Amino acid sequence: MSEPLVIVFPIYQGVTQLDFTGPLQFLRHMPGAEIVVASVGGADISAEGLHFTQLQKLEEVTRCDVLCVPGGAGCTQALENDAFMSQIRRLGLDARYLTSVCTGSLILAAAGLLQGKRAACHWSMRESLALFGALPSHARVERDGNVISGGGVTAGIDFALALIAELHDEETAQMIQLYLEYAPAPPFQGGTPELAPAHVLARVQAQMADSLRQRRALVAQIAARG
């Protein structure tokens, strides 16, 4: 019997839950997949009002075929967590595929795993990828060799389907898409800065301005430390 295909989601305090629960919902239906959700020390994780318990210890995960790093407001704090980042490097160096959703690509990049690689990210932090030698991509799902990344939050579902097609085939991905009735038809066109009405974009940018300024500055400091 062949070994299962191990997909590891390393999570941390302040992770955006949909960044990993969205892809997880699709990937768990993939034949032969073993899903591992882990944190440093197996600690409970709080994420946007949800609490994840009984997690595996990240440092005890011996291998993974796919490392999938989610993003979130806690991403910048995760970048400063040496215990977390050392495990990302360890697992990433031997993974068949390096993958991410949203600002999870910043974590991969800061771990030194995306040098010269194109990667997607949430639009608000996308350009910070360049501080770590990665190439920011505006794609909803970006593929560069064994690096497959999704843009912000909901792009994680599109990413998961692309990954399933890569690991199996398009028909398997389409079957899972049908089973989960993924047929997006948003009531508004405006999920990216390019599509959003100007006044909506301006309000969102104003609301995010202070936190983004702080996050970008912290990421720049981390990058400068090398």
pLDDT tens across the length of the chain (226 residues): 578 999 999 999 999 999 999 999 999 999 999 999 999 999 999 999 999 999 999 999 999 999 999 999 999 999 999 999 999 999 999 999 999 999 999 999 999 999 999 999 999 999 999 999 999 999 999 999 999 999 999 999 999 999 999 999 999 999 999 999 999 999 998 999 999 999 999 999 999 999 999 999 999 999 999 8
Whether 136 is covered by a domain: the verdict is yes
Whether 62 is covered by a domain: the verdict is yes
pLDDT, position 148: 98
Place of tokens 């034949």: 31
Whether 123 is covered by a domain: the verdict is yes
The SS3 assignment for 86 reads helix
Judge contact between 69 and 105, C-beta under 8 A.
Answer: yes
Judge contact between 61 and 92, C-beta under 8 A.
Answer: no
pLDDT, position 226: 80
Whether 204 is covered by a domain: the verdict is no
Distance CA 209, CA 201 (A): 12
Distance CA 185, CA 112 (A): 37
pLDDT, position 127: 98
State the pTM of this model: 0.96
Distance CA 177, CA 173 (A): 6
Number of H helices, E strands in the chain: 7, 11
Whether 179 is covered by a domain: the verdict is yes
The per-residue b/e assignment along 117-150, b for 16 or more CB within 10 angstroms, e otherwise, is: bbbbbbbbbbebbebbebebbeebbbbbeebbbb
Is 102 marked active-site? yes
pLDDT, position 117: 98
CB atoms within 10 A of CB 50: 10
Nearest residue to 41 via CA among 97, 91, 83: 83
The single residue of 64, 68, 75, 102 carrying the catalytic annotation is 102
Distance CA 129, CA 1 (A): 40
The DSSP 8-state label assigned to residue 15 in this structure reads B
CATH of the domain at 59: 3.40.50.880
Sign of CA dihedral 173, 115, 138, 87: positive
Whether 226 is covered by a domain: the verdict is no
Whether 225 is covered by a domain: the verdict is no
Judge contact between 159 and 99, C-beta under 8 A.
Answer: yes
Q: Which domain holds residue 162?
A: 5-186
Whether 87 is covered by a domain: the verdict is yes
Counting the structural domains of the chain, the total is: 1
